[in-house]
Structure 1
Amino acid sequence: MRILFAGTPEVAVPSLRALLDSSHEVVAVLTRPDAPSGRGRTLRPSPVRELAEQAGIEVLTPKGLRGEDVQDRLRGLELDAAAVVAYGSIVPPAALAIPAQGWVNLHFSLLPAWRGAAPAQRAVLAGQECTGMTTFLLEEGMDTGPILATQEVAIDPFDTAGTLLSRMAEDGAPLLVRTFDDLAAGRARPRVQDEDGATHAAKLTPAEAEIDLARPATEVSAHIRGMSPAPGAWTTWEGARMKVLALEPVHAEGPPLAPGQLHATRKQLLMGTGTGPLALAELGPAGRRPMRAADWARGAGLSEGAAFGSATTNDHGGEQTQEEER
């Protein structure tokens, strides 16, 4: 099949690579325009563009797909189908009609669950033990089109949304290729989604990422992992935001801890919740790079009773002064 690939971030790269290695022909790649990145805000190409250019594939970077010029270019490609993986832009009806067999989207949930921008994140936040991927035909509605294929994926107890999404990106690539194999062979049997099971996966916000330390440990764990790596679950330490980015198994039980209270051992940093401690693996202090939680704790010189999310004390056990805040 002659395929257009539409995708932008790193999570789309395994699918493009798999299609390039398949029996299908990727005739062009559609990706978002170069975006500013880093402290210098230098324009950088998307990961998908970088791979396409390495493979010698034509790259299209329009700001949108409503213009006649880009639609005429797509018609000129004589497409059998288009693949979509995290492209990041709406495909309007006129463009949807161009490929002979439509646009096939790889979505990182078991539709109709978690339609929208953050399906993997919402599955982790909800405390699910299983999610999956779906290939489906794009239509005008948000992730509402007929389902072509699905594959379940287990959510490990210490998976973050980031680690889960990376794994699904790799596992979803062969699912996408098999879907095109089925379309080419006439084996595909699209089925209508069951609207009764539909849920919405809205984009995550920093305000939503604040940790409620009084919740049960299982819920706090799901919140931290679902918000990682972005926007990053956060609480406060000495008046500044502290991101909690990853957890790890508790190696040894410490003393009873109130919600947010910290206890450092030689190898771990424990934090209290409403029902029991969690072992923090990675923290993101304000204005600093992410670091091992145990390393941060050693540098912080935690006083007895030190806690996240409260009026914490300084390294010497006294209340923080305005001079210290400077």
Structure 2
Amino acid sequence: MRVVVAGTPEVAVPTLDALMASEHEVVAVLTRPDAPLGRKRIMTPSPLAARAEALGVPVLKSAKPDEEVIRQLREFGVELGVVVAYGALLTQPVLDAIPHGWVNLHFSALPKWRGAAPLQRAVMAGERTSALTVFQLEAGLDTGPIYKSLPVELDQTKTSGEFLDEFAVTGADLVVDVVDGIASAALVSVPQVGEPTHAAKLTRDDGHIDWHREAWLVSSHIRGVTPEPGARALIGEDWLKIHEIADAADAGIELAPGELGIVAKRLFVGTATTPIELLRVQPAGKQAMTAMDWWRGMSTRLAEGDRVTLA
């Protein structure tokens, strides 16, 4: 089957690689236009575009596919579209432009967590299970019928970034299975069943941690927003980014929500229940460092008996 892969970030690359290694023919990649990156704001192709160019696959770049994209898809003779984190909704004319339509790899058990950040929202909510789902795209937001769904476990120590790296590879194999099934006409999609929930795109505000919640929810929230948009808390008037934590129910210290404390050269922060341990942080204007290195530098400026609290 002649396939176009639509996607933008690194998470889409394993699907491209898997389809390239399959018996199907990837005739083009559709991705968002180059974007400015780094301090020098250098225009840089998306990770999927860079991988496609390395493989010699033609690349179409569009933030909002239009009649020109439709013309190019027809020119390439595309039979099926595969979407993995493209970053824009496809209009009905684009959906109708390909004989077998478009399928999408989604990182949740649909209809739960429809939207831009399904896996991140599931982790933030402290969920222990989820699924990888390949479904038929239609005009609604992640509302189409499902071809295949694969249950996955959400390890309570991993971040969203770690899950995405892992599930991108597992999901790529699932996509190939679905494309095989569509090509052979052996696979039939079924309607979604259940109560839908919305997984809104993460913003910087989503990274602000509320220490007045139970420890497991604080931990889940931090892991869910890592690495993007990143967990953070206020210390005085400055932001402190939190890169790595560990559960610490046995810390042997009682701390108020947000309060910092030291036990055996380890730095803890209080929650509504038990403390959690801070392992790696990044103060404003500086590089990431161990939490204890940050504490040593900051504590030299404190008077004896000062209470330090994150907000």
- The TM-score, its normalising length taken from structure 1, stands at 0.90
Aligned residues of 2:280 and 2:289 also touching (Cα < 8 A): yes
CA RMSD of the aligned region, Å?
1.7
C-alpha distance in structure 2 between counterparts of 1:23 and 1:96, whole Å = 24
C-alpha distance in structure 2 between counterparts of 1:280 and 1:166, whole Å = 24
Aligned residues of 1:127 and 1:222 also touching (Cα < 8 A): yes
Deviation string, structure 1 residues 10-64 (Cα, Å, up to 9, x no partner)? 1111111111111111001111110000001110011001110110110111232
Superposed displacement of residue 246, structure 1: 2.4
The more displaced of 224-233 and 124-133 is: 224-233
Task: Write out aligned runs for 1:107-122 (5 A).
Answer: 107-122=106-121
Matched, 1:18 2:18: yes
Aligned residues of 1:261 and 1:306 also touching (Cα < 8 A): yes
Specify the alignment match of 2:88 in structure 1. Answer: 89
Specify the alignment match of 1:136 in structure 2. Answer: 135
Q: Which amino acid aligns with 1:237?
A: I
Specify the alignment match of 2:208 in structure 1. Answer: 210
Specify the alignment match of 1:63 in structure 2. Answer: 63
Q: Which amino acid aligns with 2:221?
A: H
SS in 1 for 2:222: helix
SS in 2 for 1:169: helix
Specify the alignment match of 2:269 in structure 1. Answer: 271
Specify the alignment match of 2:7 in structure 1. Answer: 7
SS in 2 for 1:197: coil
C-alpha distance in structure 2 between counterparts of 1:145 and 1:188, whole Å = 15
Aligned residues of 1:2 and 1:27 also touching (Cα < 8 A): yes
Aligned residues of 2:261 and 2:267 also touching (Cα < 8 A): yes
The more displaced of 203-212 and 6-15 is: 203-212
Which stretches in structure 1 are left out of the alignment for 5+ residues? 311-326
SS in 1 for 2:181: helix
Q: Which amino acid aligns with 2:96?
A: A
Specify the alignment match of 1:35 in structure 2. Answer: 35
Q: Which amino acid aligns with 1:223?
A: H
C-alpha distance in structure 2 between counterparts of 1:305 and 1:260, whole Å = 14
Matched, 1:76 2:75: yes
Task: Write out aligned runs for 1:261-300 (5 A).
Answer: 261-265=259-263, 268-300=266-298
Matched, 1:182 2:181: yes
C-alpha distance in structure 2 between counterparts of 1:181 and 1:124, whole Å = 31
Aligned residues of 1:234 and 1:241 also touching (Cα < 8 A): yes
Specify the alignment match of 2:105 in structure 1. Answer: 106
Superposed displacement of residue 267, structure 1: 5.3
Specify the alignment match of 2:52 in structure 1. Answer: 52
C-alpha distance in structure 2 between counterparts of 1:72 and 1:267, whole Å = 64
C-alpha distance in structure 2 between counterparts of 1:152 and 1:121, whole Å = 16
Deviation string, structure 1 residues 125-148 (Cα, Å, up to 9, x no partner)? 111001121000100000000100
Superposed displacement of residue 216, structure 1: 1.1
Deviation string, structure 1 residues 178-198 (Cα, Å, up to 9, x no partner)? 11111112121100112x421
Deviation string, structure 1 residues 258-289 (Cα, Å, up to 9, x no partner)? 11111234553211111111012222322223
The more displaced of 183-192 and 278-287 is: 278-287
Specify the alignment match of 1:308 in structure 2. Answer: 309
Deviation string, structure 1 residues 52-109 (Cα, Å, up to 9, x no partner)? 011011011123212x222111111111201100011221111111221110100111
Aligned residues of 1:282 and 1:292 also touching (Cα < 8 A): yes
Specify the alignment match of 1:319 in structure 2. Answer: none
Q: Which amino acid aligns with 2:123?
A: V
4+ residue segments displaced more than 6 Å? none
Identity %: 45
C-alpha distance in structure 1 between counterparts of 2:306 and 2:19, whole Å = 55
Which stretches in structure 2 are left out of the alignment for 5+ residues? none
Aligned residues of 1:132 and 1:168 also touching (Cα < 8 A): no
Q: Which amino acid aligns with 1:158?
A: T
Aligned residues of 2:6 and 2:81 also touching (Cα < 8 A): yes
Task: Write out aligned runs for 1:251-270 (5 A).
Answer: 253-265=251-263, 268-270=266-268
C-alpha distance in structure 2 between counterparts of 1:224 and 1:131, whole Å = 18
Superposed displacement of residue 118, structure 1: 0.5
Q: Specify whether residues 305 and 261 from structure 1 end up closer, same or farther in structure 2 by C-alpha distance, changes over 3 A only.
A: farther
Q: Which amino acid aligns with 1:309?
A: L
Aligned residues of 1:254 and 1:263 also touching (Cα < 8 A): no
C-alpha distance in structure 1 between counterparts of 2:284 and 2:153, whole Å = 33
SS in 2 for 1:246: strand
C-alpha distance in structure 1 between counterparts of 2:238 and 2:232, whole Å = 10
